[in-house]
Amino acid sequence: MPFLTREEFYKLLGQALRNAREERGLSREQLAEQLKQMPIDPERHLRHIAALSIIAGHIRRKKRLTLKQVAERANLPVAFVRDMEAGKIWNPETYSVYCLAYGLRITYRTFEKKADVLSRTELDENDRPVRKKNQHASPLQSHSPLLSEPRSTEEEQS
């Protein structure tokens, strides 16, 4: 996808929001009223910003990109990329986050989705992710059909 200008980005974002509102059959006034009634959760916002910072640094290092490479591709100052990864920017503009994602060679949607998943991760008393027990079958059955037990003839017929 080509790099979007600020105007193009916000135009597409507005269209997506309008489509979502219309799919729900809401007028602008109804949506505004619903938004007013939503409680603001400062902890949720901070967790999302922290997740963006962690994901940005992780992706950059995984792809072996320098701060300068990301900044140049994203058309952002190196200081912004550095400070974003360090968690020093608490309220980044949406377009800047889009630019950062572009600089990291990941779609904005994927970047935000990864951050959202991380920000919702349950933490223990030491701020470490709580690992939930895997609800799948045994490891041998979940990886390869060659390692699983043979099916009976009844299963094959159904």
* Mean pLDDT along residues 13-35: 93
Closest CA to 84 of 73, 96, 75, 74: 96
Q: What is the pLDDT of residue 130?
A: 82
Type of residue found at 59: I
What percent of the chain has pLDDT above 90? 66
Q: Which amino acid is at 99?
A: C
Give me the pLDDT at residue 158, please.
39
Residue 19, pLDDT above cutoff 90: yes
Task: Strands of 55-97 (E only): list them.
Answer: none
Residue 125, by phi and psi: left (phi above 0), alpha (psi -120 to 50) or beta?
alpha
C-alpha to C-alpha distance for 30 and 26, rounded to whole angstroms: 6
Measured distance CA(38)–CA(97) in Å, rounded: 24
Query: Per-domain residue ranges for the chain?
Result: 42-123
Check whether 127 has a pLDDT greater than 60: yes
| Interval 136-143 mean pLDDT | 43
pLDDT band of residue 134 (cuts 50, 70, 90) is low
Statement: residue 119 has pLDDT above 60:
yes
Q: Kindly tell me if the per-residue pLDDT of 64 is higher than 80.
A: yes
Q: What is the pLDDT of residue 149?
A: 37
| Range scoring the smallest mean pLDDT among 51-55, 71-75, 125-129, 136-140 | 136-140
Cα–Cα dist 61/67, whole Å? 9
Fold held by 42-123: 434 Repressor (Amino-terminal Domain) (1.10.260)
- Tell me the two tokens of residue 97: 């986050």
User: Which backbone phi and psi does 134 adopt, to 5 degrees?
Assistant: -70, 130
